[in-house]
A and B are shown apart, each in its own frame.
Chain A
């Protein structure tokens, strides 16, 4: 038989439940715009025992791990392309010959000045024109090389900065892992911390490609490039390293003559900037990090992967190629110039046009230091326009054979004079035109690919975020309906209590 206390208890459970529902709706509405927030829902369970009414269980956060994992992958892909755009934009501006300010344009101007001189080789103003054009060409090589080098430095600094960000995020994730596990062990609600951890994980996945594996104790095991990044409250430290590839005459690896940057993982919780005090004497000990360092063999993803890729695949090969073009051109030009004769009486030959103080293949930085030789700088008469006519004396000061028929004025584009440093000196070279246009194309195509990648992955990210939002996000209209519903339930439960109270009063009046 049901007592009045039981009826009151039922009404009270209805009031509590309605209040919980209102509370949850209000909580959801308040966090409708909180990034990464998953809406909370509670389930109502009818008590099987009469007199206990209803109970709300939860709140439970609505999540979709599959969508989350796909989103992390897309964040990483988008970050990979996005991080490349800045460096590639600079390179594109530096190499842009569409505005006729690049190396090719200066090379053509130099060629034109030589062509004009071929029509009047004795003309001092035209000779001055040649030297001025040559100085502009050298300045263009220098400026381009300097800008590529600066961009490389900035890109490497960017990679180091991203590595620091990654380390900060992994440390945050490790702390959150620890706190979540602690709450769950004490049977407490860890939903907010899990939301925070998901948000940090999303940010991390943009920086580097990660794979997160949920553990039974509520923590996440996070891998990247096959290496453990976060395990419970332990983290690996990521660091950028630089590696030089010296030229080996026995091999033909295109990486020879370049430097590359990569990412290494320092495992075991060892912080390379803060070594541990192993023997407890209060002094940090030098730890041999070698056993703890892992260098992934797979391509690194995310923003840091994009930055590493642009450094290794675009910037450094471009720097190398510009040096090869400058060296090949200057060397061959000098060989032909030495064979020609100047304006003196008697005419003299054997002058270098360009300063060539280094030897193949150690030509790193040649483009940056390209300049006129002391033989011709300020000495207009020493530009060797005339060709040896075979008698040891030139055509005369009015001769132009060394320009035209020995092709000094066509050397820029048509001769196979650009040799790669990683190939033997006897290997066939490439024309200057092909070499420079190849550089333009590599940079242009890399940037184009990055832009397309950002657009494509951006669309994918938007699509996945929309799907995820649809499932886990807060609809204010839905919560308003839930609030109204809770309000009605509260009124109904109040009515139950009032009626029970009336009935007990009636009973009391009967015996009173």
Chain B
């Protein structure tokens, strides 16, 4: 095949261009850290990356729900524990007030203490968080769920709000009276009755209060255990979601991110090839009969 000057020039230009493009591509890949920067780099993988991002985004949304739940349930657990302590104190007071040897003055003082316990319990039952949301009101969480003057004491909602914590799995995000301080006076009625018995000097009623307060403590403990179980399930789901998220993140990274070791090796090879091509092609351009003919 004849070799013309244009062929030599074009060949030098093209090979230099190709070698420089290889170096440039390797540098861009390493500096961005991404194997796929544009959709067209690999259309199929690009769409898969977007799909993985959608899933990760949704898992992050569930994570937000779980965090809110965990915060609430931890707080609820602490509150229920305090409620049990208060009821325990009330029972101790009842034990100390049983018997005819206790004077009315002492019973009046005990009634004042019992009233304070009642108010503390009511405050706990009407606990609010962040934007004023009441913890034990079910879906009607914009108003205090417990009212000392209302029949049964509970005026909150009867339905729980449900949120999704993992694809297709919903859980209660709120607590209603029946699951906490009682919807029909299970916790407040015994304490109220005890106060009345102390004020009236009703020994039999004071005696009855011991059993009623016991029942209230058991009710509260049982609710605390149930809520604790729910908290555990939430924690387990959080871990599962976390694992799932990590897997999807890894899958996405395997498509999107470069293997730095192989890319750096590729860059070295491209640079070596460029050096070789520049030297060889410059020699090719220098060689001519012009140097020899006179």
Q: Is the interface of A mostly helix, strand, loop or mixed?
A: helix
Residue of chain A at shortest CB distance from B61: A115
A298, B49: Cα distance in complex, Å: 38
Flag whether B113 is at the interface (Cβ < 8 A): no
A465, B130: Cα distance in complex, Å: 74
Flag whether A476 is at the interface (Cβ < 8 A): yes
Query: Contact: B38 with A476, CB < 8 Å?
Result: no
A293, B237: Cα distance in complex, Å: 70
Query: Contact: B47 with A437, CB < 8 Å?
Result: yes
Flag whether A17 is at the interface (Cβ < 8 A): no
Query: Contact: B4 with A473, CB < 8 Å?
Result: yes
Decide yes or no: A111 and B61 within 8 Å by CB, A122-B141, A398-B140, A441-B47 being known contacts. yes
For A386, the chain B residues whose CB sits under 8 A away are 139
Q: How far is the CB of A459 from chain B (nearest CB, A)?
A: 10
- Per the 8 Å Cβ criterion, residues 47-70 of B in contact with A are 47, 49-51, 53-54, 57-58, 60-62, 64-65, 68-69
For B46, the chain A residues whose CB sits under 8 A away are 98, 440, 444
A147, B288: Cα distance in complex, Å: 54
For B34, the chain A residues whose CB sits under 8 A away are 98
Specify which of B7, B130, B163, B289 is in contact with A477 (CB 8 Å cutoff): B289
Specify which of A108, A122, A395 is in contact with B133 (CB 8 Å cutoff): A122
For B50, the chain A residues whose CB sits under 8 A away are 97-98, 104, 437, 440
Query: Contact: B47 with A399, CB < 8 Å?
Result: no
| Chain A proximity mask over B112-142: 1 for CB below 8 Å, otherwise 0 | 0000000000000000001111000111111
Flag whether B247 is at the interface (Cβ < 8 A): no
- Per the 8 Å Cβ criterion, residues 1-49 of B in contact with A are 1-7, 9-11, 14, 34, 36-44, 46-47, 49
Decide yes or no: A469 and B6 within 8 Å by CB, A98-B49, A398-B161 being known contacts. yes
Residue of chain B at shortest CB distance from A100: B53
For A396, the chain B residues whose CB sits under 8 A away are 138-140, 142, 157, 159
For A395, the chain B residues whose CB sits under 8 A away are 139, 157, 159, 161
The segment from A88-96, A257-265, A355-363, A371-379 that touches chain B is A88-96
Q: How far is the CB of A108 from chain B (nearest CB, A)?
A: 4
Query: Contact: A444 with B64, CB < 8 Å?
Result: no
Query: Contact: B293 with A124, CB < 8 Å?
Result: no
For A466, the chain B residues whose CB sits under 8 A away are 7, 10-11
| Chain A proximity mask over B137-160: 1 for CB below 8 Å, otherwise 0 | 111111000000000000001010
Decide yes or no: A474 and B4 within 8 Å by CB, A404-B164, A480-B293 being known contacts. yes
A108, B61: Cα distance in complex, Å: 10
For B76, the chain A residues whose CB sits under 8 A away are none
For B293, the chain A residues whose CB sits under 8 A away are 480, 484
For B166, the chain A residues whose CB sits under 8 A away are none
For A317, the chain B residues whose CB sits under 8 A away are none
Decide yes or no: A119 and B65 within 8 Å by CB, A404-B162, A404-B163, A480-B289 being known contacts. yes
Flag whether B94 is at the interface (Cβ < 8 A): no
Query: Contact: A98 with B39, CB < 8 Å?
Result: yes
Specify which of A88, A98, A115 is in contact with B164 (CB 8 Å cutoff): A115
For B11, the chain A residues whose CB sits under 8 A away are 466
Query: Contact: B68 with A120, CB < 8 Å?
Result: yes
Residue of chain A at shortest CB distance from B256: A98
Q: How large is the interface on A (under 10, 10 to 19, 20 to 34, 35 or more residues)?
A: 35 or more
For A44, the chain B residues whose CB sits under 8 A away are none
Query: Contact: A413 with B54, CB < 8 Å?
Result: yes
Query: Contact: B57 with A400, CB < 8 Å?
Result: no
Query: Contact: A112 with B60, CB < 8 Å?
Result: yes
Flag whether A288 is at the interface (Cβ < 8 A): no
- Per the 8 Å Cβ criterion, residues 434-466 of A in contact with B are 437, 440-441, 443-445, 447-448, 451, 462, 465-466
30 interchain pairs (CB within 8 A)? Answer: A33-B6, A33-B9, A93-B38, A108-B53, A109-B57, A115-B58, A115-B164, A116-B65, A118-B164, A119-B163, A122-B133, A123-B130, A125-B131, A396-B139, A396-B157, A399-B139, A400-B161, A443-B40, A444-B38, A444-B39, A444-B47, A447-B38, A448-B42, A469-B4, A471-B2, A473-B2, A473-B7, A475-B2, A476-B5, A477-B289
Partner-B contacts on A (CB < 8 A): 32-33, 88, 92-93, 95-98, 100, 104-105, 108-109, 111-112, 115-116, 118-125, 386, 389, 395-400, 404-405, 409, 413, 433, 437, 440-441, 443-445, 447-448, 451, 462, 465-466, 469-471, 473-478, 480-481, 484
Given contacts A32-B4, A409-B61, list 5 more A-B pairs with CB under 8 A: A98-B37, A119-B163, A122-B141, A477-B289, A478-B2
State the 3 A-B residue pairs at the shortest beta-carbon distance, nearest first.
A473-B4, A444-B39, A444-B43
